[in-house]
Amino acid sequence: MSPPLYQTISVPLYASMVMYYYLLAPRFRAEKQRAYLLSTLSASIMSCISLPFFWTYITRGFEGMFRAGQEGWMGVLAEVGVVVFGVYLFGECL
């Protein structure tokens, strides 16, 4: 049995967010501008992840979206979304 998704992608995801920040931060002088780098990245990723759920909600309603989000590729996508947002929150706390 493979380990849960949050155990396998959390550290590489955190490392990639740190690398993203340190690559782009020198381009912005103001601290306020640098503060939005990870927020913008997280919001973009979460918006992209939400598109299939929005489409399923429009076409099948809430119950269909809920069922689709519990299994298959949309279930995995939902889990990835939770992990991405959790890693973002963890990174913002440090």
Residue 14: what pLDDT?
95
pLDDT tier for residue 94 given thresholds of 50, 70 and 90: low
DSSP annotation string for 48-59: HHHHHHHHHHHH
Burial of 88 (0-12, 13-18, 19+ CB in 10 A): buried
pLDDT at 1 over 80: no
pLDDT at 4 over 80: yes
Strands (E), the chain: none
Q: What is the pLDDT of residues 15-71, one digit of tens each?
A: 999 999 999 999 999 988 998 999 999 999 999 999 999 999 999 999 999 999 999
The residue assigned the tokens 């490392």 is 15
Average pLDDT over residues 69-84: 94
pLDDT tier for residue 93 given thresholds of 50, 70 and 90: confident
Give the CB-side neighbour count of residue 30, counting CA atoms within 13 A.
3
Interhelix angle 5-24/72-93, nearest 10 degrees: 50
pLDDT at 78 over 70: yes
What are the two backbone dihedrals, phi and then psi, of residue 71, each rounded to the nearest 5 degrees?
-145, 165
